[in-house]
Amino acid sequence: MPKLIISSADRVFVLTGAGISAESGIPTFRDAGGLWRNYRIEEVASPLAWRGDPHFVWDFYSMRRKAASAAKPNPGHFALASLEQALHDRFFLCTQNVDNLHELAGSQCVAHMHGELFKSRCDSCSRPPFPDTSIHESQGEIPLCPCGGKIRPHICWFGEVPFHLEQIFAELEVCTVFIAIGTSGSVEPAASFATHVSGRAKTFYVGPEAPANHSSFDDCFLGKAGELLPILFPH
């Protein structure tokens, strides 16, 4: 098994996707055929659904909070936390995942481009997102902000702009090693990151199967992140 050699001059950008969480038992949308209670995910995770029926939306995110709170980080998450510790500010972790498994493994700095399952925010005012593990199911009260707005999950829904894009693209500009882990390579804008850096940075993929955009990578390491990452980044 080859190792990923990272020199003292390298800056590493890591992108993680649903695959690394799935290894910890968090089901991906697509595993379930993209359906929840026979609704397409796009019909639940959207501003339109929220405006039409916030109880329905909170039912879904309450279920996801419960599923995620039962999950534990796997050796892939721990390997990335160690890599951050070794490289400090020459390491940037961007995730498409909304769970907190990277943080539970010890990662200090994580850019959650699609939001965070255990945070909520007001749907009306600019009060910043706050930590929130509450469950709101079955027609319970929708929590309200002091401004009168409704408290919603801090999630980037379909049709909304991902978070931290400015910082993410600034880090893509300066990275010399780009590693995508467990992403399908089909969700934009993340699917274009490898193409964005190719020619300037070495690009690697780690995951159980080749992603849709596999031709954008210099090398693909096929297998579970939890098995490959501790070998690729031994400490």
Output the smallest distance, CB 51 to Zn ion, in A.
Answer: 16
From 35, 109, 147, 170, residue interacting with Zn ion (rule: CB under 5 A): 147
Lookup: tokens for 125:
């005012």
Rounded distance between C-alpha atoms, residue 134 and residue 140, angstroms:
12
Q: Does 151 bind Zn ion (CB under 5 A)?
A: no
Q: Does 145 bind Zn ion (CB under 5 A)?
A: yes
Is 114 considered catalytic here? yes
Q: Which residues of 63-74 are buried (b: 16+ CB within 10 A; e: fewer)?
A: ebbeebeebebb
**Which CB atom, from 110 or from 122, has the smaller least distance to Zn ion?**
122
Output the smallest distance, CB 148 to Zn ion, in A.
Answer: 7
- Tracing tokens 């940075």 back to the chain, one arrives at 201
Output the smallest distance, CB 144 to Zn ion, in A.
Answer: 8
Q: What is the contact mask toward Zn ion in residues 96 to 135, using x (rule: CB under 5 A)?
A: --------------------------x-xx-x--------
CA distances from 152 to 53, 77, 165, 233 (A): 12, 28, 21, 38
Rounded distance between C-alpha atoms, residue 212 and residue 184, angstroms:
6
Output the smallest distance, CB 123 to Zn ion, in A.
Answer: 8
Q: Does 142 bind Zn ion (CB under 5 A)?
A: no
Contacting positions for Zn ion (CB under 5 A) = 122, 124-125, 127, 145, 147, 149
Active site residues: 114
